[in-house]
Structure 1
Amino acid sequence: MTINLAKGQRIDLTKTNPGLTKVVVGLGWDINKYSGGTDFDLDACAFLLHEDGKAKSEEDFVFYNHLIAYGGAVAHTGDNRTGEGDGDDEQIVVDFSLVPPNISRVGITVTIHEGDSRGQNFGQVSSAFVRVANEADSRELLRFDLGEDFSTETAVVFCEFYRHGSDWKFQAIGSGFTGGLAALCRNYGLDV
């Protein structure tokens, strides 16, 4: 049974699912009909964060030009440039057993590619969600529907996985940024 979370909620992921080591993070969205006629390209990214909440190098950043970090600890399955169709538009796979001990959080984000220059923002996006499924059997464990809380933002932190002792937990974040991918990179400690 899928657990539906609200913004800010946390859930113990590995303790309540014994044996869970690898998850598929599916992200999806629709574009509103009044989008302005220019194609939207939304991009999922993952930031692997150290104890201070910052990424230290490009190895700590997974996106369409750097698909795999730390030998498969986090892997992006590829860029979907249109978001067409139902279900997940992009996926990121997280293998908790391969995440190095110096990484304490994995932030999952979505940005609008060239959103500022195209006049696009999350106010024109609807039905945005993140879902987490057990990679071994595809069983959906939890889902967070983002809602319609954004207007001018071009980047959103959807969720974070974080270490708690030997277990991994999930937090629904839903925090928006203006400035797209560059703003997110700066927020997480990377130079652009």
Structure 2
Amino acid sequence: MVILTKGQNVSLSRLAPNVQCILIDQGWDRRTAAGVDMDLDEILFMTAADGKVRGDEDLVFYNQPRSACGAIELIGSKEKGEKFTVKLDRIPDAIQRLVVGVTIYDDAVRVRNFGQVRGAYIRIIDPASALELVRFALPEEYSTETAMIFGEIYRRQGEWKLKAVGQGFSGGLRALCGQFGVSVA
């Protein structure tokens, strides 16, 4: 297993040359703030070369758990953990990046931020072998951010790579979605 630090990347294609499907697992220490559970939601943006989604069909999250192309699906449950399954060979050529993030549900009303989240990570698993290929543990330095990009899986010269991002956003879901061309009502 490869362990990344913020800003590093690794070739998934070299770590597992024949892998066609991966699991993207994001996690954190389950906890409460002021006696109320922290409710975090995974989200994945399928972006084109311009860094934007082509439309709402390129967004995968709890309210749309499967991509229109069928390559990505959010599986599992909040109680036991959610993961994205990604069939790399089914991702349309127009999609260059898979941006994996997390938002805090109802962050403004509940007054929550990622400074209250501990032990956050993203890891890539080869489901065929059940081996963890790579892991990135986010630094715990986010005191005002209410949405995060954990990592990006991207194409480069015929390979799939993972970049450890760890970028926070104030403004929650709306700010994160706006970054990738998605309007939130």
Coarse TM-score class (shorter-chain normalised): over 0.9
Q: Is the 8 A contact 1:121 1:153 kept in 2?
A: yes
Runs of 4+ in structure 1 deviating by more than 6 angstroms, as ranges, are none
> Structure 2 counterpart of 1:75, which letter?
E
The answer on 1:112 being equivalent to 2:104 is yes
- The residue that corresponds to 1:67 in the other structure is 65
Contact 1:64–1:79 (Cα < 8 Å) also in 2: no
* Cα shift at 1:93: 1.1
Give, in whole Å, the separation in 2 of the partners of 1:90 and 1:151: 25
Deviates more, 1:64-73 or 1:175-184: 64-73
Match of 1:146 in 2: 138
Instruction: Name stretches of at least 5 consecutive residues in structure 1 with no aligned partner.
Output: none
**Aligned match for 2:44, one of 43, 46, 71:** 46
CA displacement at 1:147 relative to structure 2: 1.9
1:39-81, Cα deviation, whole Å (9 max, x unpaired): 211011100000000012111100001011133211111451x
Percentage identity across paired residues of the two chains:
40
* Corresponding residue SS for 2:124: strand
Paired letter, 2:12: L
> What letter is aligned with 1:57?
G
Alpha-carbon RMSD across the aligned residues, in angstroms, is: 1.4
| Secondary structure of residue in 2 paired with 1:97 | helix
The DSSP-based 3-state class of the residue aligned with 1:147 is coil
TM-score (structure 1 length as normaliser) = 0.91
Q: How far apart, in 1, do the equivalents of 2:135 and 2:71 lie?
A: 21
Q: How many residues are aligned here?
A: 184
Contact 2:69 2:91 in 1 (8 A): no
Query: Which ranges of structure 2 fall in alignment gaps of 5 or more residues?
Result: none
Deviations 1:97-156 (A, max 9, x none): 000000000000011111121101111110001110002121100000012011111100
Give the alignment's TM-score, normalised by structure 2: 0.94
Q: Which residue identity does 2:164 align to in structure 1?
A: A
- State the distance in 1 between where 2:35 and 2:166 align: 26
| Equivalent position SS for 1:127 | coil
